[in-house]
Amino acid sequence: MPALIASGSNEAALAFVEIGAVVLGLALLARLAGRLGITAVPLYLIAGLALGEGGLVQLDVAEDFISIVAEIGVLLLLFTLGLEYSDIELRSGLRTGVLPGIVDMLLNGLPGVAAGLLLGWSPLAAVLLGGATWVSSSGVVSKVLSDLHRLGFRETPAILNLLVIEDLAMAVYLPVVAALIVGGTVLATLTSVAIALVVVTVILLSALFYGRKLSDLLIGGSDEALLLAVFGVTLLVAGVAQQLEVSGAIGAFLVGLALSGQAEERAIQLITPLRDLFAAIFFLFFSFQVDPAKLLDALLPAFGLAIVTAITKMLTGWFAAKRVGAAQKGRLRAGATLIARGEFSIVIAALGAGLIDGPELGALVAGYVLVTAIMGPLVAKYADNIKLPTRKKLQPAPA
């Protein structure tokens, strides 16, 4: 028994040292990003690539623990995004965001489908690639908006509207493609879609109509009680949603949306440091799992696809921001902020892992997400420096 205890103690000590070193490294990268005046997300991704499988130094950290922490990071990112988004803005977004959402799907999904077909993949694999190129990363986008202090900018509601439409669309898309991959019957596919729609509708209506009651229940306790309650409710709702084959990110977002008044203000102050810690580990862990050697063959098509869909996302953001009255600079910022792809793209690629073209799909999506997740925050940072062509005014001819 003492030998077993000693063995467990040694393993725990090693895990503490490795996780501590990783977190301290993230702290240094965050400080460097602050000095450079950019978001730390690209630096986290590069660090994960260097330290993960096939990287410069491979750390043997507890993968299950890091994986759970990373998933919690996504949930907290979406929860805090929901805190910044009122129920009035959501109603407006659902009314006005459908047309930009359709434009978004066509402009950004079709290039991925076309690329998959050009590579000789099966139609289903091409559709999965289209889904990966369609959806922006809510996690990266929310982090960029927060880091660049743009949550109050004129174009931000248009960005959030598109994220909400995309996340809600994923509630239908993911069960459909999952059923097609398994090869289920039409009835099974329709049942999965119906369950997803019902769950999203119930959570959405609960957030809209019972959010104030939830806020009143949470506001009475101490900061410690509020933090624990908010954290617990977020994980609970996200877990139930995910169990019913709906994105847990949507559940977390709608919990944040439900809070209002003093509960919302206190929750923002209490949860932000926790969000930053968990989110940093999420971005690190994503690229931590990617083998750099496997990216080489997919690097050229991934980079080309990233360039094409960066342009189409710029056009999407321009169109959506113009509809809310943003100026030209705001439209550019909106498009640039939406460039990054992330968590949903990886989930979609993972669904197709068992297909004949699954390995090629996974490698291409991994490279594509890394390129866009690094490109997006950098372009968003310097979007205001982009020079737009101006029309010269005609001077009257001299008499």
DSSP 121-166: --HHHHHHHHHHHH---HHHHHHHHHHTT-TTSTTHHHHHHHHHHH
Q: Report which of residues 54 and 170 the model is more confident about.
A: 170
Residue 308's pLDDT is 97
40-42-44-45 Cα dihedral, nearest 10 degrees: 160
Which domains can be identified in the chain, with CATH numbers?
11-382 (1.20.1530.20)
Structural contact between residues 282 and 78, judged by C-beta atoms closer than 8 angstroms: no
- Arithmetic mean of pLDDT, 93-117: 90
Predicted confidence at residue 63, as pLDDT, reads 64
* Residue 81 identity: L
Query: Which of 112-126, 289-303, 333-347 is modeled with the greatest confidence?
Result: 112-126
Give the C-alpha separation, 179 to 168, whole Å.
18
- Tens of pLDDT, residue by residue over 281-336, are 887 877 776 667 777 788 899 999 999 999 999 999 999 999 988 999 999 999 99
Q: Between 32 and 84, whose confidence is greater?
A: 32
Percent of the chain with pLDDT over 90: 23
Cα separation, 80 vs 94, whole angstroms: 19
Quote the pLDDT of residue 257: 78
Q: Does residue 4 or residue 389 have the better pLDDT? A: 389
Q: Is 60 helix (H, G, I), strand (E, B) or coil?
A: coil
CB 340 within 8 A of CB 140: yes
Q: Are 243 and 7 in contact (CB under 8 A)?
A: no
Instruction: Please report the DSSP string for 236-305 in residue order.
Output: HHHHHHHHTTS-HHHHHHHHHHH--HHHHHHHHHHHHHHHHHHHHHHHHHHHHT--HHHHHHHHHHHHHH
Query: How high is the pLDDT of residue 285?
Result: 79
Q: Which of 66, 63, 26 is nearest to 46 (CA)?
A: 26
- 81-93-166 Cα angle (round to 5): 65
> Residue 309 has what DSSP assignment?
H
pLDDT for 263 equals 82
- What are 14-36's pLDDT values in tens digits? 778 878 888 898 999 989 987 87
- 308 close to 133: Cβ distance less than 8 angstroms: no
What pLDDT does 210 receive?
77
Average pLDDT over the chain, rounded to whole? 81
pLDDT of 249 reads 74
Distance CA 308, CA 297 (A): 19
| C-alpha gyration radius of the chain | 22
- Say what the pLDDT of residue 56 is: 62
CB atoms within 10 A of CB 300: 10
**212 to 59, 69, 215, 259: CA distances (angstroms):** 46, 29, 5, 7
Residue 4 reports pLDDT greater than 50 = no
Distances in whole angstroms, Cα of residue 280 to Cα of each of 27, 48, 65, 139, 347: 9, 10, 14, 11, 19
Of 92-96, 240-244, 386-390, the range with the highest mean pLDDT is 240-244
Of 44-48, 59-63, 286-290, 328-332, the range with the lowest mean pLDDT is: 59-63
Compare 114 and 362 and report the one with higher pLDDT. 114
For residues 142 and 372, the model is more confident at 372
The pLDDT assigned to 254 comes to 79
Distances (CA, A) of 238 to 232, 244, 283: 10, 10, 19
Six token digits for residue 170: 């994923």
Of the candidates 333, 335, 291, the residue with the CA atom closest to the CA atom of residue 316: 335
Query: CA-to-CA distance for 289 and 298, rounded, in angstroms?
Result: 16
| Cα distances (Å, whole numbers) of residue 4 to 9, 13, 65 | 8, 14, 21
